[in-house]
Amino acid sequence: MAADQPTVLIVEDEPAQREVLAYNLEAEGFRVSRAANGEEALLLVAEDAPDLIVLDWMLPNVSGIEVCRQLKMRADTRQVPVIMLSARSEEVDRVRGLETGADDYVIKPYSVVELMARVRAQLRRTRPSTVGGRLEYDDIVLDSETHRVTRNDKPLKLGPTEFRLLSTFMEKPGRVWSREQLLDRVWGRDIYVDTRTVDVHIGRLRKALTLHGGDDPLRTVRGAGYALG
């Protein structure tokens, strides 16, 4: 599986419900992690923030509402989308009223199709390239569904690694990525690759992007890494 597949954390205390959800998310190509209660969820998120959290309201000890409130209070986890699951619509009204900061609400029993659509809608906002979105930067257009990249309407030929590198950059223009962060995102943390490999592929990406003219949009930040724009 590609290293840039989005990760979804499921927080649900009922094992059967948790596994059904995990099965469906994995079938959609997401990487799934699981927490059986709120404390575990908070620990997992502090260790490595997922791209999205599906959070059940009814949890032992720390409720889903409290978990959500804590996540939305912290600067490093605030931007992670949270989809809250609840058993009744009155509960959803209450969650809304409590201003927990949840990004979306789904009522149980939910249709898998609907929940997956909600998950994709949230990711389209935060990680557009992973859910078939189209990214634009200046005159560069990247379509993650067709895997086509154009610059100034001319098609560019990119290898799979260069394509993932460019998607990463285009999701957050201006952000400086260290070589280690790029390795993690593009190659995956389980694979041993020398950081110099990043430089090699950045070189190839630059060459491809400037093949038909235009300035090199990638910036080398001395001692820090690379950025787009």
Quote the least distance from Cβ 181 to Ca ion, whole Å. 35
Quote the least distance from Cβ 83 to Ca ion, whole Å. 14
Show Cβ contacts of residue 163 under 8 Å, excluding neighbours closer than 6 positions.
142, 147, 149
> What does the binding site for Ca ion look like in residue numbers (CB under 5 A)?
13, 56, 58
Comparing CB distances to Ca ion, the nearer of 37 and 126 is: 37
Comparing CB distances to Ca ion, the nearer of 58 and 116 is: 58
Comparing CB distances to Ca ion, the nearer of 17 and 197 is: 17
Quote the least distance from Cβ 153 to Ca ion, whole Å. 51
Comparing CB distances to Ca ion, the nearer of 109 and 223 is: 109
Comparing CB distances to Ca ion, the nearer of 13 and 66 is: 13
Quote the least distance from Cβ 21 to Ca ion, whole Å. 11
Quote the least distance from Cβ 98 to Ca ion, whole Å. 18
Question: Rounded to the nearest 5°, which phi and psi values hold at 11?
Answer: -115, 105
Quote the least distance from Cβ 17 to Ca ion, whole Å. 7
> 35 with 10: CB under 8 angstroms?
yes
Comparing CB distances to Ca ion, the nearer of 40 and 143 is: 40
The CB-side HSE value for 142 (13 A sphere, CA atoms) comes to 24
